[in-house]
Amino acid sequence: MHLIIFINLFLIIAKLFSYEQYRYESFYSNFSQNFSEKCGVAVIAYNRPEYLTECILSIEKNPESQTLPFFFFLDGDQDLEQNMNFEIISKSLIANKYIILRPTNFGIIKNNVDAKRFLFDWCNFEKVISIEEDVVLTSDYFDKLIKLDNWAQSKYQNIATVQLWSYCSLNQTAKKNQIQKVRQTIPAWSFVTYCMGKKAWNAIAPYLYEYEKLFVDPLLNKSEFQLARSKPQNGPFVKKIEGWKKNMIYRIKKDRFDPDSVLPIYNKSQIRAFIKETFNQDCLMMMLFYLKGYTRLQTIVNHAKHIGQKGFLGEKNDEDFNYQLCEIPLDSDDFILIHK
């Protein structure tokens, strides 16, 4: 009995110590239970206040903007854009908003990983909706996304994420006919906005933390590695990262699922090829989910729109992303999985 008590105390102290380095406030500890809310929303932003403004305006049109807690993770170093983003959020109509200012430039990978660590490990949310600031949403986005996640989790044990952001140029009539249909997410489709459950996060979190410690943290506070913090293939650890990737294939064991509740991953060859060719934040998560036996779902019809035309990485968005958002309501809470 004394040994069990000692081990539990040790684990609690170790956990508190590990979070101290990220300066998490005690107010947020067990936030989910303390405020009786199972789902938290993470808005990831850096240096683009004009996009954040549009994103927030679309969030405000959702009823959940008055009920769900929204956590804004502002990367940077108290620069002009970070201060502008702070003001935009402070003046918004979102009822429950919490702003986390990064003390230095974390980069895309660490800002995303730490946001999930904070919300899942520290706040103890059961599910997290993640949104990057260059996305605009439909007025029923959160309702549809949560319904899709509930449906997917009730059907399959190996769903990592669900998302409503899809490449869809169908007209409104065609969209109405496809409104209930979902498919497995193609490997190259990014994690710009999605919903993830705690079980899926726990499956890959240890490996993300390891990657962060090995290949991102050593580059913090070094201006010459600002790009590499977000895009590791431009940094000093390229060969080590390739070795780490190969090692993961042998180290990681698939999670155990009920065979009758597993959605087979039917684009395995595409995933393996994509992982081999590139390695960024999205590819890292996709690789780990794949190795753990998880897959992702997305709707055929788009309910979110990527508006980014400029970014830290200098990438331009394809003009075909300028499609009309779908405000068509769902016919029911059930969805139809298609293999396409």
**36 secondary structure, DSSP code:** T
Domain containing 183: what range? 2-337
Q: Are strands 39-45 and 295-299 parallel, antiparallel or unpaired?
A: unpaired
Segment-wise mean pLDDT, segments of 10 residues, the chain, 340 residues: 41 41 80 96 94 97 98 86 93 97 92 97 97 95 98 97 89 90 86 96 96 94 89 89 90 92 85 73 89 94 83 43 73 90
97: domain CATH number is 3.90.550.10
Strand, helix or coil for residue 73: strand
Whether 300 and 189 have beta carbons less than 8 Å apart is answered as no
Please say whether the beta carbons of 28 and 55 come within 8 A. no
Label the pairing between strands 304-306 and 159-163. unpaired
What is the C-alpha separation between 133 and 50, in angstroms, rounded?
9
Report the number of distinct structural domains present in the chain. Answer: 1
Tokens of 292: 């753990």
Residue 340's pLDDT is 63
Quote the distance between the C-alpha of residue 211 and its chain's center: 17
In this prediction the pTM is 0.89
Dihedral-angle region of residue 339 (phi above 0 means left; psi in -120 to 50 means alpha; beta otherwise): beta
